[in-house]
């Protein structure tokens, strides 16, 4: 029986690396995974999932307007899909997450979604909120704060390296723009 999995963490926990390893494992067994990533994330090459450790794979893009079920049905026409692997799942809409649960429940295709749980203000992303509610299995991938504690939060930094407390929820960036920290250091950053 297929399941909907949500692998979540702060930044720099290796979400894309785990996704790419999963894709490799499926392919090595002669199975066909469908890889999806958010079109909004343009840090690397669009249409590609890239890990900070230097591995990558081609992926189909999704936007807020993508009909996930239609995408899966079209992809599975030519060759049966073994699983769906989604990078940057926090950018999914609530409706898209519901469609992914239909992929699992109706089509019996496992879905593994990888994303960040909260934004730089400690608020849930819409996709993450829906995944936390609907997933059959939640898996936390861990990374560490500069103090050595588990990092569960993300701080957005300005061009001078100072914490940003206001702004749009989505601003694409990497290590130059975001820092993963523990809750204690997150609260210190937003209070100062």
Q: Give residue limits of the domains in the chain.
A: 4-142
Cβ neighbour number for residue 112 with a 10 Å cutoff: 24
C-alpha atoms less than 13 angstroms from C-alpha of 69 in its C-beta half-sphere: 13
Nearest to 120 by CA among 158, 64, 159: 158
Greater pLDDT, 49 or 10: 10
Judged against a pLDDT cut of 60, whether residue 171 lies above it is answered with no
Mapped onto helix, strand or coil, the DSSP state of residue 177 is coil
pLDDT band at 48 (very low <50, low <70, confident <90, very high): confident
Contacts of residue 141, Cβ cutoff 8 Å, sequence gap at least 6: 7, 8, 9, 13, 14, 15, 18
Report whether 113 contacts 9 (CB < 8 A). Answer: no
Q: What angle do CA 177, 173, 12 make, to 5 degrees?
A: 80
Over range 135-161, report the average pLDDT: 91
Residue 172, pLDDT score: 55
Chain-centre distance for alpha carbon 92 = 9
Residue 69, pLDDT score: 96
Greater pLDDT, 86 or 78: 86
| CATH superfamily assigned to domain 4-142 | P-loop containing nucleotide triphosphate hydrolases (3.40.50.300)
Over range 29-34, report the average pLDDT: 95
Mapped onto helix, strand or coil, the DSSP state of residue 24 is helix
Indicate the average pLDDT of the chain: 89
Over range 7-12, report the average pLDDT: 91
Residues acting as catalytic residues: 88
Nearest to 97 by CA among 73, 133, 124, 72: 133
pLDDT band at 144 (very low <50, low <70, confident <90, very high): very high
How far is the first Cα of the chain from the last one, in angstroms, to the nearest whole number? Answer: 49
pLDDT band at 67 (very low <50, low <70, confident <90, very high): very high
Poorest-pLDDT segment among 1-15, 39-53, 85-99, 141-155: 39-53
Report whether 109 contacts 135 (CB < 8 A). Answer: no
Residue 182 DSSP class: -
Over range 71-79, report the average pLDDT: 89
How large a percentage of the chain has pLDDT more than 70?
A: 92
């Amino acid at each position: 029986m297929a399941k909907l999995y949500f692998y979540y963490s702060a930044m720099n926990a290796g979400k894309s690396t785990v996704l790419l390893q999963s894709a490799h494992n499926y392919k090595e067994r002669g199975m066909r995974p469908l890889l999806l990533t958010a079109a909004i994330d343009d840090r690397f090459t669009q249409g590609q999932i890239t890990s900070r450790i230097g591995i990558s794979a081609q992926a189909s893009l999704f936007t807020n307007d993508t009909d996930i079920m239609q995408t899966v049905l079209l992809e599975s026409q030519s060759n049966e899909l073994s699983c769906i692997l989604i990078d940057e799942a926090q950018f999914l809409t609530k409706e898209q997450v519901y469609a992914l649960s239909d992929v699992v429940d109706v089509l019996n295709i496992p879905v593994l979604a990888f994303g960040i749980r909260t934004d730089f203000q400690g608020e849930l992303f819409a996709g993450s909120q829906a995944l936390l509610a609907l997933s059959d299995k939640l898996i936390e991938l861990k990374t560490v704060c500069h103090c050595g504690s588990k990092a569960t939060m993300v701080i957005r930094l300005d061009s001078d390296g100072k914490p940003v407390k206001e702004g749009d929820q989505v601003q694409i960036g990497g290590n130059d723009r975001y820092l993963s920290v523990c809750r204690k250091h997150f609260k210190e950053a937003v209070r100062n």
